Amino acid sequence: MTKKAAKAADPSYQFDAIVIGTGPGGEGVAMQLAKAGKKVAVIERYEAVGGGCTHWGTIPSKALRHSVSRLIEYNTTSLFSENQVARHVTFQDIMKHASGVVKKQSRLRTSFYDRNRVSLIHGEASFVDAHTLQIIRPDGSKDTITAHQIVIATGSRPYTPKDIDFDHPRIYNSDTILSLKHEPQNIIIYGAGVIGSEYASIFRGMGVKVDLVNMRDRLLSFLDAEISDALSYHLWNNGVVIRHTETYKSVVGHDDCVVMELESGKRMKADCLLFANGRTGNTDMLNLDAIGLKADSRGQLRVDENYRTDIENVFAVGDVIGYPSLASAAYNQGRSAAEAMLSGKANSGLVEDIPTGIYTIPEISSVGKTEQELTAMKVPYEVGRAQFKHLARAQIASTTVGSLKILFHRETKELLGIHCFGERASEIVHIGQAIMQQKNGGNTLDYFVNTTFNYPTMAEAYRVAALNGLNRIF
């Protein structure tokens, strides 16, 4: 964007900017622009704000996961389980807690728009031209609104192949699974990515037999191999049947079951099916042809380093632009896009070294390089490890499964990667992330060796792992 384009919008437009979608990406853009004094409108097709993150993805699934994790803890801790019958709850019971969290989050996010004087418009948006949107409101009436700049933050939805009947009451995707009406004894989960692996943990934790079908030869292959192996072992040890390098041939829903036939000839039967194999960008309803913009085969848009699409005044953020498809990244992409819309250049530092948080039971989180990446780069690294079973806090809390792994340069001791598997991993990883961000020599293993940690804590794992790593250097 030129300096001229970054000036105040043409007064003939109703708004300086319109944001389509109120998920994390849309919220990030709208808040940043509003705080800079711009006149902003956001368009939301659903009754409540928050997008897929709040209503169908991150928030409800993590609330589910938390409840199941506590149930497992109750049933396996001797303090509670001795001389007591194991507790059991239904999926609907747990969803009551999750739905309460969703409502609180949605109310909170609505208040953000109110406080910052952002106009919230409910309806479905589509382009008329590069500065004009048509809005079809919930009552069917139509309106048009105009803006100097427009941001597409419409998110994504589960990929649903046409040869599977998703209207069948026993066949679900990762959105509709939240309205599960059955109390299944067994479930087939097709797709062993982040969503599939998380739901495999959730259902197994509820005592449901799980068949997890993976198209690849290992789980979550983007992870450090040891962490991926740890997850595979933990799921296997808890009774999840994992079928690698398999693809489905057919899925047939019956009154009392679902039958899946694999290309390898295997046949599987379960009470219900969760299909969790990929997502599609929500761009097909936007009438992109009207502005000469095209999405790829997965409904995603291409953007430059400033989150600008091929159309000068149209930007895009969040799941609709693809990787990394994380709520945390989407919010910062929104903030960066707003900076580009205001000044012509985005702050790329906001979305560097993004931590990965995977809410299986137990959790996985990492930031930085994996061992496989460092080996391929021929970096002389070393490894420091701390096993949770040796930490007093983990023993007290009975959360002894897991470990922390620090990868560091054996000569400079610079931190290169942090990988954690275990309860609270997504919190623990931020300590390492904070040190990795330090400049001028501050990012070294010495910080963990020379810092006094509270005892007993899970954070103490960093000191244990750092000393373990130093012992490997000769």
**Within a domain: 8:** no
**Total domains present in the chain:** 3
Q: DSSP for 350-385?
A: GGSSPPEEE-SSS-EEEEE--HHHHHHTT--EEEEE
The answer to whether 105 touches 59, Cβ cutoff 8 Å, is: yes
Q: Which residue has the tokens 């303090």?
A: 79
Task: Give the pLDDT confidence score for residue 352 in this predicted structure.
Answer: 67
Task: Give the pLDDT confidence score for residue 2 in this predicted structure.
Answer: 35
Q: DSSP for 237-278?
A: HTT-EEE-S--EEEEEE-SS-EEEEETTS-EEEESEEEE---
**Within a domain: 141:** yes
Which of 371, 407, 47, 401 lies closest to 224 in space, CA to CA? 371
Choose one of 260, 276, 292: the last residue of a domain: 276
**Quick one: 19 and 149 in the same domain?**
yes
Task: Give the pLDDT confidence score for residue 4 in this predicted structure.
Answer: 34
Q: Is the previous residue joined to 456 through a cis bond, with omega within 30 degrees of 0?
A: yes
**Within a domain: 462:** yes
**Quick one: 263 and 392 in the same domain?**
no
At 70, which amino acid appears?
A: R
**Within a domain: 10:** no
Between strands 267-270 and 258-262, the pairing is: antiparallel
**Quick one: 138 and 21 in the same domain?**
yes
**Quick one: 141 and 290 in the same domain?**
yes
Domain that holds residue 234: 171-276
Cα of first residue to Cα of last residue in the chain, in angstroms, is: 53
Radius of gyration, alpha carbons of the chain: 24
Report the binding-site residues for NAD(+).
Answer: 191-198, 278
Task: Give the pLDDT confidence score for residue 8 in this predicted structure.
Answer: 45
**Quick one: 81 and 120 in the same domain?**
yes
Choose one of 299, 332, 351: the last residue of a domain: 351
Q: Tokens at residue 50, please?
A: 């928050």
**Within a domain: 163:** no
CATH assignment of the domain containing 217: 3.50.50.60
Report the binding-site residues for FAD.
Answer: 44-53, 62, 154-156, 319
**Quick one: 198 and 105 in the same domain?**
no
**Within a domain: 407:** yes
Report the binding-site residues.
Answer: 44-53, 62, 154-156, 191-198, 278, 319
Task: Give the pLDDT confidence score for residue 81 in this predicted structure.
Answer: 60
Task: Give the pLDDT confidence score for residue 11 in this predicted structure.
Answer: 74
**Quick one: 67 and 92 in the same domain?**
yes
**Within a domain: 412:** yes
Task: Give the pLDDT confidence score for residue 159 in this predicted structure.
Answer: 94
**Segment holding 135, helix H or strand E:** strand 132-136
**Quick one: 153 and 21 in the same domain?**
yes
Tell me the average confidence (pLDDT) per consecutive run of 10 residues in the chain, 474 residues long. Answer: 42 93 96 97 93 86 89 78 67 82 91 94 96 95 96 96 96 93 93 96 95 96 96 96 98 97 98 96 96 95 96 96 90 95 83 86 96 98 98 93 97 97 96 92 94 95 97 93
**Quick one: 186 and 64 in the same domain?**
no
**Quick one: 24 and 149 in the same domain?**
yes
**Quick one: 309 and 271 in the same domain?**
no
**Quick one: 51 and 142 in the same domain?**
yes
Which of 211, 204, 230, 231 lies closest to 75 in space, CA to CA? 204
CATH assignment of the domain containing 416: 3.30.390.30
Q: What are φ and ψ of residue 59, in 5° steps? A: -65, -55
Cα→Cα distances 311→37, 146, 304, 308, 409, Å: 24, 16, 11, 7, 44
Choose one of 297, 330, 351: the last residue of a domain: 351
**Within a domain: 107:** yes
Q: Tokens at residue 17, please?
A: 């900017």
Q: How many other C-beta atoms lie within 10 A of the C-beta of residue 455?
A: 11
Question: Which of helix, strand or coil describes residue 342?
Answer: helix
